[in-house]
Structure 1
């Protein structure tokens, strides 16, 4: 005899009162089963009747545990405990199993035919029963009712392109006649491709915004650095103003006090002299009084003649103390202060301006391919001077000839840049920038019309801006280091005396339309008078930020 396999459900082992698995189950005469303590509590609170069918009992009777059901409930409780421990309970966000009654376990599949979701245990019939195997299973999803056609109660398997909605197999026949209908999978593939493009577009938008964030942060950092520099300059300027005010105030007070002391000293001298004369006159008065009492004629006459000999004779009517006049002293001090402050402020502002443009410093090296054959370059291409003999170099259309000039390797076609050249001990040099297309063969006048924005030194003391014909420049000191600053968009080329922090000259209103290169000429050797090299300085920007 073969044993019949069967599966009892959880509902068969639930007490109708506490809705939990039986504990000490008892069977009433009407055939219904309950937990023993549930029935007793029910009878205590109501009539003696069956909680399910309401069959009345006219007296209470002894309730005995149904051992068969008790053993079956224990086995079911043990089996349910194993299953619940083997299978994960549904967490928030998970799709729960629709069949589980106690602990809702996590669903592993949803059936689009049954419109239910199943855990591993409750999914088994769909995997074994031939009739259920034909059902369409999918990954767990919620709201399975939304996958059914509300009109025909059939799964939504098609897509109507005309109405842009999902439809079932009956919709094209009944409600969507003559509409363009395609399988859901085909529309899915199209939209998935579009989604891929949209995702790529979103990633590009994210990247652009991240770059924009970096740009904003960089701009903010630059703004902070600029603000810190300006505050440092402002503090320095006002500290200088305060020091000048205090110094001028001290000098003014000192001048007034010195004048007053001189007056007091003079007055004190006059008072002392007058007091001495008063003392002398008092003494003479005593002698006169004594002589007036004398009865000796001879002694009187002899003493009378000597009375006028030692008497003070100074005429004090012409002597006076003129009060010192302080009128205009404060005005003079303020005028001097204003003059000193203007000089100091100009000096500080020029220094701040130079420091500001130095922040755009670039590392410039000289290009040997452009150097005249008589120019000698250092190994690092930072120093150049004119040699006695020309080198035998191959023809090169970029090389200057016969002008003893050289260009920098670096070119600039936008923004701002700055570089410095040391011209110490030199009696002749030319410095500036030039456009890429300048002529390099033959004698070409250096001027903006020919693509040069330069200045020079000749004969050791003649400075000039080469604006067409040389424009003489009057400098307060001889520059040892010259800075060149270019603002491409503003059309500005400025030259600075670095040590004096003074602006030498500026080309303004320039129109740049191509690359610009640093332009250098160390000048001729001139019998060893101009043998010192022209040196392109190396500027470390981090050092500038610390100033």
Structure 2
């Protein structure tokens, strides 16, 4: 028996010395000797133990086991939950399952052997163990390099966990013991047979975080479903049907994902920085506008008060002068009348004396001279209308003061609304936008054949025609798909505003469009289609590029459209309630924008009324 064992060991040495796969050759030799030699049962058991120990040693050796031997032929990566087919080939569980689900015939990807029924696959624990040991060594090396680099950068060292006095620097860490050792305390791992099989690595910190607490094995896998680290035993038990990858692959994927997330964060940060700069600039602009408003208001109000004071002084001066003139005129008339009264009284005395004369001859001689009246003023030319003039001035001043008081009250009300913030913001915003009003005329050359544009270019309505026309005879600028018409003038800069009366219409579209907007065929409903409009349907508003997504509810009769070309903004307002309907913001305009009108058809009924361009000051 001893000679047979010697032959076996010699075969082992020969195989290991002369073959790159010496251990496999040794296994073959053992198998042959067990078949052809007369060996008793005990010897077979001993040989089996020797084979198992030897093969386990082989699994831990990186010099005889290369990564190529552990690659799946489908994914070309190291086996993850390896399984064996009935024909003897090995694949990842996920790879072979996916392969069979995509093919009508269940066959081996390598030898093409066909199976009548889909084999029931189970993880090959032997190959899984080999992969686990191999990956443990590979990942451990990567961890060691990474941690060594980190420790080198930080200048930190790992101390021996066994030293009781002054702790020496550790030279190795044991993944099974979860302990770091100095040279003295590491000696048993070089001497004791049981400790020799432990995995020693360069000193590591926090070893317990790298070991599965349940199975006391190295964490070498990552479950993408549950987002947890796994050992090989965890992978084959509770995570059988999960997407499990190696730590290295998960690290690479997460690193790529982190790079994308970092780019998004950077982009979001830049957006917010731009917003902050825009808000700061807006605040500065508001400060300038506030200063201008205060300066102008103070100047205007001071000038108004000064004018009122001047008017008051002028009124006092004029009234005093008129009163003085009236008094002088009346006093002069009174003096004249006093003289006339005295003259009349003398004449009256003469007449009484004449009346008492009894001598007829004497009476007749005195009568012609006595009966003649003295020269007097014509009282019919004297008028008291100066009093009426004063009454007129009084009424006029009262009316003027009342109007001024109303304006002052209105001004105070606006100031109070601004102080309280009760709906004044949007009202002031709308008033600000209305100052950029432009005079819009519709271009009939762009109108759909079923639309009628008024002669003054201010109205457009839908007509229920036959819908039959000769396309070749129509204007090439005419809309054929959309019931639309454009304004005559386009805008490539600045701000502009216009208002449209829609009345009781049940459907309509309004906004602006680019000059290159297609006039024939359909139009993609995307933000890049070149059309920025709101679409009203019965009781709700949508945008053309986002159908089915309401942005506002309710009806309006009069719509204000404001476009800030340089600022990339388009806003729609309910003019009557000074309420914002919707705003397109952060738009990028590269060509001229034209006002866009679409009165729509009569699908919802009561929709044959026109869309009317109205001036800001007009009340329809």
Please report the TM-score for the alignment, with normalisation by the length of structure 1.
Answer: 0.37
Please report the TM-score for the alignment, with normalisation by the length of structure 2.
Answer: 0.33
- The structure with the largest alpha-carbon Rg is 1
Higher helix share: 2
Q: Which gives a bigger RCO, structure 1 or 2 (Cα 8 Å, sep 6+)? A: 1
